[in-house]
Structure 1
Amino acid sequence: MSSLEEIELEVTTRGDVQSDRTSASPQPLSDSHQNGMTRSQAWNLYVSHFLSTWNIRTYEFAAIIFTAAAYPDTLIASSIRGIVRTLASICFSSIVGRWVDHAPHRLKTLSSTISVNRISVISAAVLWFFIVRGNTTQGSLESTSSITRDTMFGLILFLGVLETLSASGNMLSMERDFAVTAAGPDGQPYDLTHLNSVMRRIDLICKLIAPILISVIVSATSVQIGVVIVGAMSTASWGVELLCAKRVWDLNPRLRVLKTIEIGDSSTLLQSLPPSSSCHKISQALCRYGQDFENYFSSEVWIPSMSLSFLHISVLTYSATFITFLLNAGFSLDLITIARAAGSIVEISSTVVTPIGVHYLSKTKGYGRLRGVVTRTNEDSEDSGVGLLERFPEQQTATEAGLERLGLWGISWQLLNLLPVVLALWSLSPETTTTTLPTIISRILGPIAPQPLLAFTLFFFLSISRLGLWIFDLTTQQLTQTMNPASQRSSFAGVEYSFVSLFGLAQHVVAIVLHRPEQFKWIALMSLGATAISTVAYAGWVWKMRGHLVHWERIGKGCECVKVRLRHVR
């Protein structure tokens, strides 16, 4: 066998491994399978995803308001709720992902996550209703005793864990299984790049509008009515969401094919223990949990995933920590709100830029490696058109190359634009970081910032850096979708969610340790360092996969063309 045939066989085998190995029968699928997703399927998918995301984002913000109303004189309840949700995500996200991977029926899996999420939100809304009513009624101690209130809050914490895990399961099932399987081939109107971009656009719009809407409702009416509306929205959307998901499943033959569950060999330790013993069950759970992390780090695409997760340790975003510092530093709430809205618009624009960028960069002919195989081509040779590259699955390879290149552009864009942000934060004078209550209140009510040029530099570059972040997020998401075996997509993403929560928790710990406003510049510098580390790690991975970062030969040709033109001008 020639070396060329060996390379072809290697790539074909790899494509078979990475394809969705879910066929329950050798029967070929219908023409709709070959033609990809239709417009009707796509819109039903978008509606189902919108309703899920809208309810998740609404309750996520509404629960903060409800907690503040239930415990108005302390931050302990809010902190406990945040810690419980974060720890649940760290500990159980990979387990949820493994469950999504091993569940054979895609529609039942997605429907289960939707139903559990709605039941937990509706049940929590009922409990919130009685807690809030007790706090707003005269003689609240008679209506709702402290013990009863704390008991109901404990139940809400448990329901919050279910809500968090079911929301993660919904995203994993929809983004890593449902959408990947239903998407059309690369280059078609509803391919995976298009679906990911639209679904992320829906998520970002809901993230922007849902908190504003629930705030307006609570401000115009009362917290009690806000609780009722949140529960009513979850109840009303439940059936519609299930119906839209079922319609996509009915119209797409690939979704209806049951997944094949692969069961690995048991370890020697597990075989030596009685199957019914508690030690066996605990050891089995721990082994599976460890296996998820082992599969994660053995994946070809774990470095981009870890680079994206590591960015969540940064405070250089419009988070509660950063906004609190800005208020202490003298920036008005009005200005911060406008800047945050501008940043959201930039984030949404990334969902438009990404498909265009992937399409453009996928057309660029590559120099270097394709998945570890040297594939240098000569653009000036006609024979190169029928050379080695034609023996690869060209469309898929080109799309992955475009994703890798655009991802590098995205994270580099973010890093470069955060440099002026950090410089601006270091330029804040010590006098602007006083923390007295009257000063903070005056700045909340103040219309402008004390240093206009500094404010423009800070907010402009911070906002446009969000474009690079979300481009990198979208490209990394699709790389992890397509470069992992179908049987490990969701468990891989579950481990990624665990790291995201872990680094998010680390961000808050750092903010607690360096809690003084004048120390925030060091947190900002560490955030910039974290972004730089992610950029270098991802660039190294691209170098390994592509064999290059910059087409120096093209730059050389461009310089030669410039020299020739200058000679003609002279």
Structure 2
Amino acid sequence: MAMVNEDASGMHRRGEEEPTSMDSETTEDSQPLISSFPTPQETARLNNLQRGARVRNLSQGTLDLKGLYLSHFLSTWNSRTYEFAAVVFTVEAFPNTLLPASISGIAQCITLIILSPLVGAWADHSASRLNSLKVTILSQRLAALAACLSWTLLLWSPSNSYPIGLKWAIFSVIVVLSCVSRLAAGGNVVVMERDWVPTLAPVVGESSLHILNATMRRIDLMCKVLAPGFVTLLPTVFGAINATAERSIFWSVIAIALMSLLSPWVELVSAQKVWHQNELLQAPKIMEREVAQNTQENTSATNLMQHLRHKFSGFMRFCQSVVFLPTISISLMYLSVLTFSSPMITFLLNAGFSLPVVTVARLSSSLLEVSATAVMPWGVKTIRNRPVKYWRRANEEEEVGFLEEYSLPSANLNIDKAEVERVGLWAVWWMTLSLIPAVYGVVGLAASEKPNPPGLPNLLFSLPMLFGVAFSRIGLWTYDLTYSQLQQTLPPPALRGEFTGIEQSFVSAAELLQWILTAIMSRPEKFNVLAFISWTAVLGAAACYAWFIRKRRGHLLHVKISNCCKN
């Protein structure tokens, strides 16, 4: 599906010259090219298919995306629900210790680091988009269902009734199943957000890709906000019923297991309805012949070293790609502990904050995260409506690299590439600057005495920290949306899944490093050191993305040329 001719590849570069013959070679600043092009017949077939689908969509009305959104909501809701419920179940089964939760978290991070690229490559090489989505949905639900059944064994009996060896054996099975569920959830993101959404964008409407991304991310964030409350509500409801009051946690496991059993059928039917409505989704994927050849060789190879060399070459291709720097940037952002997660909440409670204050602060932060799904499309629209002239033309043909040479004709892909990249630059620096007062507040609170009774201690430090952390989330999720669109539009379609899998490995590595740093500096008085490390990592993320923009556009700031300078 990765294909383009010279005429189409330059259509999105407003006011720029046609590429010269140097663009087909490797220049000093460009990336090495993939050696084989799709055939002209493949290019013509896909272009005709896309043109016909767009015409039919306009004649029949807007493509109905309710099925897409419903399927994505149920998938995200079940994933978020089980993820938070597993923490509650672990505390119930292993009270007074954080060791089981730490083991599960580290195991899931390591699993994603090692296996996410393989899942992404599998998604790329799966000819049918519908079949690959079915596999990810069913794998995730079956793993969560089996894990819930294991939790019922562990929670049916009182905590001390099982031998310690049997108890840990059951928990080990749960950890393995949780890793499978998390990996399948990542595969669902690869298939749905990196393949289905950009494929549907050309037939939805003008400038539709960032709108689709914002809607999908809004669903993610709403599930993130509401799922913990739902899980917390379940034991309360079952505790109020006489028949289930003594085993409220056990019956909560049963309720989540029933959701995992029933929801996949609705997800599959909803997704299949969208798939039947769109010919582009039904069309088999077209891979670069070099990638397909490597796949065939790899499946028939018995030599482990050949397999490892092939995977290493895919990793090096990603490191040489134009999306490498944005990936490093978003990974560094997820290294930060300056968010309302368990390490910071523990610090706040030890610093003298009351639980209601922490709850309100976390809810406010979540609402600001959701607002980023409106900020990003607004930013793209605002920047597009305010064109600027540059001191010099950005030499984009030399800077873009090999990936864009294989993208679809951008006139058909409503991607607003320059505007999206500029919104990402503003977002990453918004987050960096917002966290400065947050670090100041953490340092001040760490040096202050804990008030008695708890409440909102030392307003001079508390307010800058709370507002800084909360408003930084707008920058994080606006950049997250920007990065998602870059991953959808810059890599060739045949490599989107592989690149997204490697991205998930980088992010999981950052999360694992956060776990390690938190374990090393676990005392609350050391949280100011973690805060400074976090801000330094975010500053590094901003620098990486600024370097990416400089390479892409030849500049960072857009300066209007005054009338006196035009002559």
Deviates more, 1:448-457 or 1:17-26: 17-26
Alignment match, 1:523: 530
Normalised TM-score (structure 1):
0.83
- Give the corresponding residue for 1:419: 436
Structure 2 distance, partners of 1:20, 1:83, is: 48
**CA positional deviation for 1:314:** 1.0
Call closer, same or farther: CA 1:450–1:149 in 2, change over 3 Å: same
Q: State which of 9, 18, 28 in structure 1 corresponds to 2:48.
A: 28
In 2: Cα distance, 1:119 partner to 1:19 partner = 41
Task: Map 1:369-380; keep pairs closer than 5 Å.
Answer: 369-370=393-394, 372-373=396-397
Give the aligned partner of residue 240 of structure 1.
266
Task: Check whether the contact 1:403–1:475 (CA below 8 A) recurs between aligned residues.
Answer: yes
Instruction: Report if the CA contact (8 A) 1:104-1:261 is conserved.
Output: no
Deviations 1:23-76 (A, max 9, x none): 795793273334669645311110000000000000000011111111124322
1:61 to 65, 80, 84: 84
Quick one: distance in 1 between partners of 2:152 and 2:383? 53
Residue aligning to 2:378: 356
Measured in 2, the distance between the counterparts of 1:300 and 1:482 equals 11
Change (3 A) 1:429 1:352: closer
Deviation readout 1:510-547 (Å, 9 max, x if unpaired): 22222332222121111111111111121121122112
Instruction: Check 1:185–1:472 CA distance in 2 against 1; reply closer, same or farther (3 A cut).
Output: farther
- What is the rounded CA distance, in whole Å, between the counterparts of 2:120 and 2:155 in structure 1? 35
> Structure 2: how far apart are the matches of 1:223 and 1:369?
63
The equivalent of 2:195 in structure 1 is 177
Q: Is the 8 A contact 2:93 2:154 kept in 1?
A: yes
Residues 1:62 and 1:17: Cα distance change in structure 2 (over 3 Å): farther
CA RMSD of aligned residues (A): 3.5
> C-alpha offsets along residues 133-174 of structure 1, whole Å, 9 cap, x if unaligned?
1126xxx62xx4444333322221221121011000001100
Whole-angstrom CA distance in 2 between matches of 1:466 and 1:362: 24
75, 87, 91: which one aligns with 1:52: 75
Greater Cα offset, 309-318 or 147-156: 147-156
How do 1:87-486 residues align onto structure 2 when only pairs under 5 Å count? 87-135=110-158, 141=161, 144-184=162-202, 188=206, 191-221=208-238, 222-262=248-288, 264=290, 277=302, 280=303, 282-363=304-385, 364-365=387-388, 367=390, 368-370=392-394, 372-373=396-397, 399-428=416-445, 430-432=447-449, 446=454, 448-486=455-493
Q: Is the 8 A contact 1:193 1:355 kept in 2?
A: yes
Give the Cα separation in 2 of the matches to 1:541 and 1:18. Answer: 28
Aligned letter for 2:218?
R
| Alignment-derived partner of residue 245 in structure 2 | none
1:55-103 alpha-carbon deviations (Å, 9 max, x no partner): 0000000011111111124322211111111110111111100100111
Match of 1:512 in 2: 519
Displacement of 1:193 in angstroms is: 0.8
- The residue type equivalent to 1:238 in the other structure is P
Greater Cα shift, 53-62 or 460-469: 460-469
Structure 1 segments unaligned to the other structure (5+ residues): 376-391, 434-438, 561-570
Q: 1:175 to 1:430 in 2, by over 3 A?
A: same
Post-superposition shift, 1:262? 4.0
Q: Secondary structure at the match of 2:445?
A: coil
Report what 1:436 is aligned to.
none
User: CA separation of 1:9/1:276 partners in 2, compared to 1, >3 Å: closer, same or farther?
Assistant: closer
**What's the TM-score, normalizing by structure 2?**
0.83
For residues 419 and 198 of structure 1, do their structure 2 counterparts lie closer, same or farther at Cα, with a shift above 3 Å needed? Answer: same
> Judging changes above 3 Å, is the alpha-carbon distance between structure 1 residues 148 and 514 closer, same or farther for their aligned structure 2 residues?
closer
C-alpha deviation, 1:265, in angstroms = 8.0
The 5-angstrom pairing of residues 74-93 of structure 1 reads 74-93=97-116
Cα distance in 1 for residues equivalent to 2:557 and 2:64: 40
The residue identity in structure 1 corresponding to 2:489 is T
The answer on whether the counterparts of 2:108 and 2:179 sit within 8 Å (CA) in structure 1 is: yes
Kindly provide the CA deviation profile for residues 301-350 of structure 1, in whole angstroms up to 9, marking residues without a partner as x: 21112101111111111111111111111111111110110011011011
Q: Give the stretch that moved more between structures: 477-486 or 282-291.
A: 282-291
Q: CA deviation at 1:370?
A: 4.9
> Would the alpha carbon gap of residues 69 and 7 (structure 1) be closer, same or farther in structure 2, given more than 3 Å must change?
same
What is the Cα deviation at residue 5 of structure 1? 4.9
Aligned residue for 2:10? none
Deviates more, 1:38-47 or 1:230-239: 38-47
Greater Cα radius of gyration, structure 1 or 2: 1
| Percent identity of paired positions between Structure 1 and Structure 2 | 34
For the 8 Å contact 2:79–2:185, the answer to whether it is kept is yes
- Give 1:384's aligned residue: none
CA shift for structure 1 position 260? 2.6
Indicate conservation of the 8 Å contact 1:33/1:254, yes or no.
no
Amino acid at match of 2:515: H
Number of residue-to-residue matches in the alignment: 518
**Equivalent-residue separation in structure 2 for 1:235 and 1:477 (angstroms):** 30
Deviations 1:267-310 (A, max 9, x none): 99x99x99674xx0x22331232123112112112111210111
* 8 Å contact from structure 1 (residues 20, 486) kept in 2: no
Cα distance in 1 for partners of 2:477, 2:271 equals: 26
Cα displacement (A) at 1:553? 3.2
